[in-house]
Each structure stands twice: as C-alpha cells, then as structure tokens.
Structure 1
Amino acid sequence: MDKNVLFQKFVAFTAAVHQTTNEITKNVKSETITPLHYKILEYIAVSQPVTLSEISECMHMSMPNTSRELRKLSEKQFLEKVADDEDRRKHIIRLSKKGEAMMNESFQRIESRFIERMEHVSEEELKEIERALDLLHSKVFN
C-alpha cells in the first residue's frame, strides 16, 4: 500500500473529525465558562486524573497560562487539585462534583446529537464503525 496515499486519507479524516467535533459540540458548554475552559474540562473528564504538564501539553499552552486557567476553574469549583501520594510536589487534577455534573450534561447533549447522526445507519454498519473506531484507537490514536 502507498503510505503517502494512506497519509493523505489520514489528514482528510482528522480534518473531518475536527469539523464534526465542532458541529456536534456547538453550544453544549455552560454559559459560565469560556470555550477554552470547556476544552480543558473536556480533556480532564476523559483523561482524569491528569497533571498540569499533561493539560499544558494537550492544550498547547505554556505552564503558567495553564496554571492560571486551572486556578480560574478551581475558583468556580469545577475541578480540584490533590497532592500526589508518591510525590508531594506533584498535583493530580480531576473534576469536582460540580465539574462532573456539568460535563455529564454536556456529554448527554453530544450523545443525543451523535445518535441523531447515526439514525439511518444499519446495525451492520454500526458494528463496522465500532470495529473501525477500535482499530483506529489501538493503532493510530494510542
């Protein structure tokens, strides 16, 4: 197989993923937070517990900027920082009960939109999509 052709398909696929993600998540965040805060909370929700440096790297932000945004989210009681048992200098970051509730509400809206998109997909195609997602996750996005 021509790996260049495969790469071009991968680029087109990831662009489509970003576009679809944008459409499916539009207006799901709480009005009390910024889009950046939503992205940070979304990352924490699916990856927790995480560290400051992991958030910084994922969000392509400097450590000081990440720290400032996390402080704002902490002040709004959406997340909590806990000292790591093994290394007291390191802090683990996770959603608070309030943060979990807000993200669960957002994910329910996203799930509803996803289900609408899958409305006309056959059971066999759904199984194929699931297998494809599992394969992509294990081979490309791991």
Structure 2
Amino acid sequence: MYNKIENLLDQFYKTYYKIEEINLNQVIKCLTTTEIHVIEAIGQDKITMNELAEKLGITMGTASIAINKLNEKQFIERIRSDEDRRKVFVKLSKKGEMALNYHGNFHSTILEKITENIPKEELKAFVTTFETILNNLEVIKKDIQPESILTFEEGDTVQVSSIKGSVAIRKYLNEKGVLIKSLIKIINIDKFLITMLVDGDEKILNVEDAENIMVRKNSL
C-alpha cells in the first residue's frame, strides 16, 4: 500500500512538472522551471531573501543566483527597507506579474482538465485526505528540519541548530546567549519582539534578528 502511494506521488509530480517544463519552453522561453517557481514564491508581495530561501527550501546562495538572473531578465526588482537600510526586499516587476498570472492560469487549466471526469464528492474526499497527509508531513518536518524560531509558537521549547545572517548578527545573538544547542522556550511573539527563555535566562529580541535563529523542536 505505502509503496503504491509513494510510486503514484512520484509519477504524478514527474509528469506534472514535465508538462510545466514543456509549457514554459513553448510560451515563456526565457524562464527556467526553477525561475518560475521563484516568481511563484515571491507572489504579489515583497519578500526578503531569507524568507524566499526558507519558503523554497533552498540555500541563500541558490536563491541569490536565481534572483540575480531574474533581475537581469527584468522579472523582479530589489527594494531597500526604509526602516532598516541593511534589509533588501525583492518583488515582481510588471513583467514578473504577467509571468505569474499566466503561469497561475496554466496551473488552473491543467488541474481542471485532469479532474474533469472525477465526481465532485470523490474530489472533495481526495482533497480532505490529502490535506491530512500534508498536515502530518508538516508536523514531521517541523520536528526534524531546522526552521526559523519565528515559525514556532508560544510555549514551544526548541533547540538551536544554527544561526544565519551576517557575522555581526551572529556575534550579536551569541552575546545575547543564543548559541548552538541552546534550549529556548518561547514566551511571547508579537509583530516586533520575541520574548524567550534562553537556557533559563529571559531574553527579548527584535523579530528581524530572531528570524536568523534556526531551531528544531525539542521533545523533552
């Protein structure tokens, strides 16, 4: 049963993304599949490079290469934050928005075609089941894969796996007592600040600095 599920999922995604690749080569010839996925990840809002890399599950280096190419092709724009000049956002240009809208329509059309012979009740049951499977995967992922501390909730206890950002940011967090393997209990998170116990000591950090703390859920 489980082997069959795995094989079906594997075959589905291979075929689905092959169709996507063929469509790109025929219509938006200057974009690769990876680049259109970056455009989709950015969406209609501006986003930082850290957020983009985390959203796609790629390294900052890979994200930077993709963004540089998209910038050269004029699909994205870089915007420096008014509040913090060190922070740079990326957003879609008009050309990028056109590519996003076209590709979104392509996905809708393909999904409509491949589900048109399935009764609505069966399709609803499939969606409900698949949502449950995805939610279960997210739980497992959160337990084993380091993520920004900001993706966790108040009351969670987590362990620091790594610290991202510049040398200055890493040094600042180290001075605050945030070290590799530190145990952190999240007390409160709001729009601007995070309050937490770091190895038993209460610390308050700006969320922009805290997003660089990569942690795993602690089961103890």
- Do both proteins adopt the same fold according to a TM-score greater than 0.5, normalized to the shorter chain? yes
Determine whether 1:99 maps to 2:96: yes
Counterpart for residue 128 of structure 1: 125
Compute the TM-score of the two structures, normalised by the length of structure 2: 0.50
Give the structure, 1 or 2, with the largest relative contact order (CA under 8 Å, sep 6 or more): 1
Give the secondary structure class of the aligned counterpart of 2:23.
coil
Counterpart for residue 68 of structure 1: 65
CA distance change for structure 1 residues 118 and 87 in 2, over 3 Å: closer, same or farther?
A: same
**What amino acid is the match of 1:95?**
L
Cα separation, 2, equivalents of 1:17 and 1:80? 34
Give the secondary structure class of the aligned counterpart of 1:28.
helix
Aligned partners of 2:20 and 2:33 also within 8 Å: no
| Equivalence map 1:35-54=2 (5 Å) | 35-45=33-43, 48-54=45-51
Give the secondary structure class of the aligned counterpart of 2:43.
helix
Compute the TM-score of the two structures, normalised by the length of structure 1: 0.71
**What amino acid is the match of 1:124?**
E
Aligned partners of 1:24 and 1:114 also within 8 Å: no
Give the RMSD, CA atoms, in angstroms: 3.0
| Equivalence map 1:1-142=2 (5 Å) | 11-12=6-7, 14-29=9-24, 30-45=28-43, 48-56=45-53, 58=56, 60-61=58-59, 63=61, 65-141=62-138
CA distance change for structure 1 residues 56 and 123 in 2, over 3 Å: closer, same or farther?
A: closer
- Would you say how many aligned residue pairs link Structure 1 and Structure 2? 135
Task: Report the more deviating stretch, 125-134 or 84-93.
Answer: 84-93
- Structure 1, residues 21-63: CA drift from partner, whole Å, max 9, x if none? 31442323211223332232233238x5432234445363552
Query: How far off its partner does 1:82 sit?
Result: 2.0
- Structure 1, residues 62-108: CA drift from partner, whole Å, max 9, x if none? 52x53233122123221122223553312222222221111211121
Task: Report the more deviating stretch, 48-57 or 35-44.
Answer: 48-57
**What amino acid is the match of 1:35?**
T
Aligned partners of 2:49 and 2:90 also within 8 Å: yes
Aligned partners of 1:78 and 1:97 also within 8 Å: yes
% of aligned pairs identical? 26
Cα separation, 2, equivalents of 1:116 and 1:24? 13
CA distance change for structure 1 residues 36 and 26 in 2, over 3 Å: closer, same or farther?
A: closer
Structure whose residues are more often strand by fraction? 2
Structure 1 segments unaligned to the other structure (5+ residues): none
CA distance change for structure 1 residues 11 and 126 in 2, over 3 Å: closer, same or farther?
A: closer
